[in-house]
Structure 1
Amino acid sequence: MTAAPAMTRATRTSPHTLATKRRSPLSGGDSRGAWLFLAPFGLFYVAFLLGPTVWMLITSFFNTSTVKTGLGSFAGFKNYGEMLGRADFWSAMWHTLQFTLYTTPPLVVLAFVFAILTNRVRRGQWFFRLAFFLPYILPSATISLIWVFIFTPGSGLWASAQQAVGITPGAGVLASPATAMIGIAIATVWWTLGFNFVLYLAGLQEIPRELYEAAAVDGATTWEQIRFITLPLLGRTTTLVILLQIIASLKIFDQVYLMTSGGPGISTQVALTLITGTAFTDNRVGAGSAASVLLFIVIIVIAVVRQIIDRSLARKAA
Structure 2
Amino acid sequence: MSSTASTASTTAVPAAPRAARTATGTDTLRLRWGRRLQHGGWFVTPFFVLYGLFVLVPIVRGLYLSFTDANISGDHTSFIGLDNYREALQDDLVWQSLWHSVKFTLWVVPLIVVLALLMALIAHHTVHFKWLWRFCFFAPFLLPSAVVANLWYWLFQPVNGLVNHTLGLDTPWLTQKSTALLASVIATLWWTVGFSFLLYLAALQNIPQHLYEAAELDGANAFQRMIHITVPNLRNITGLVVALQILASLQVYDQVVIMFQFGSGPESSTRTFVQYMIEQGFTSYRVGYASAISMILFIIVAAVALARMWLLRTREEATR
Structure 1 Cα separation of the partners of residues 215 and 127 of structure 2: 19
State the partner residue of 1:13: none
C-alpha distance in 2, partners of 1:92/1:242?
Answer: 22
Counterpart in 2 of 1:141? 146
Distance change in 2, residues 1:27/1:311 (3 Å): closer
Give the Cα separation in 2 of the matches to 1:204 and 1:68: 53
Hey, what does 1:292 align to over in structure 2? 294
Q: Is the 8 A contact 2:117 2:197 kept in 1?
A: yes
Report the alpha carbon displacement of residue 152 of structure 1 after superposing the two structures with TM. 1.3
Cα separation, 2, equivalents of 1:34 and 1:315: 31
Tell me which amino acid in the other structure corresponds to 1:292. S
After TM superposition, which residue ranges in structure 1, 4 or more long, deviate above 4 angstroms? none
Give the TM-score normalised by the residue count of structure 1.
Answer: 0.87
1:278 counterpart letter in structure 2: Q
Distance in 2 (CA, whole Å) between partners of 1:48 and 1:118 is 39
Query: Which structure shows the bigger proportion of residues in helix conformation?
Result: 2
**Counterpart-to-counterpart distance in 1, 2:138 and 2:123:** 13
1:46 aligns with 2:47: no
Equivalences for residues 1-318 of structure 1 within 5 A: 24=32, 31=37, 34-69=40-75, 72-162=77-167, 165=168, 167=169, 169-170=170-171, 172-260=172-260, 261-318=263-320
Q: Distance in 2 between matches of 1:105 and 1:311?
A: 23
Q: Distance in 1 between matches of 2:126 and 2:109?
A: 26
**CA distance in 1 between partners of 2:85 and 2:28 (Å):** 53
The answer as to whether partners of 2:69 and 2:78 remain within 8 angstroms in 1 is yes
Shift of 1:160: 1.4
Count of residue correspondences? 294
- The residue type equivalent to 2:200 in the other structure is Y
Q: Shift in Å at residue 257 of structure 1?
A: 1.3
**CA separation in 2, counterparts of 1:91 and 1:104?**
20
Q: Percent identity?
A: 37
Q: What do the CA deviations read for 1:38-69 (whole angstroms, capped 9, x no partner)?
A: 23322321222111111111110000111233
Q: Once the 2 structures are TM-superposed, how far is the Cα of residue 288 of structure 1 from its aligned partner?
A: 0.6
Task: Provide the C-alpha distance between the structure 2 equivalents of 1:152 and 1:135, rounded to a whole number of angstroms.
Answer: 20
CA RMSD of aligned residues (A): 2.2
Deviations 1:63-86 (A, max 9, x none): 01112337x111111000101101
Question: Which residue identity is paired with 1:236?
Answer: N
Q: Which moved more, 1:139-148 or 1:230-239?
A: 230-239
Is the partner of 1:265 in helix, strand or coil?
A: helix
Query: For each residue in 1:151-198, what CA deviation from the matched residue of structure 2 results, as whole angstroms up to 9, or x when unmatched?
Result: 112111123124xx4x4x14x201111110000000000000000000
Q: CA deviation at 1:27?
A: 6.5
| 3-state DSSP of counterpart to 2:279 | helix
- Which amino acid letter does the alignment assign opposite residue 255 of structure 2? Q
Match in the other structure for 1:8: none
Q: Could you tell me whether the CA contact under 8 Å between 1:62 and 1:75 is conserved in 2?
A: yes
Using the alignment, how far apart are the partners of 2:119 and 2:142 within structure 1? 19
Partner SS, residue 220 of structure 1 = coil
User: 1:252 & 1:91 partners in 2: Cα distance?
Assistant: 15
Instruction: Determine helix, strand or coil for the equivalent of 2:178.
Output: coil
- Ranges in structure 1 where 5+ consecutive residues have no aligned partner: 1-15
1:217-266 deviation digits (Å, cap 9, x = unpaired): 00111111111111111111110000000000001000111111221231
Cα deviation code 1:80-99 (max 9, x no counterpart) = 01011011110000000010
Cα distance in structure 1, aligned partners of 2:151 and 2:254: 14
TM-score norm. by structure 2 comes to: 0.86
One-letter code aligned to 2:52: V
CA contact (8 A) 1:235 1:313 kept: no
AA partner of residue 41 (structure 1): F
The amino acid that maps onto 1:232 is P
Q: Partner letter of residue 182 of structure 1?
A: L
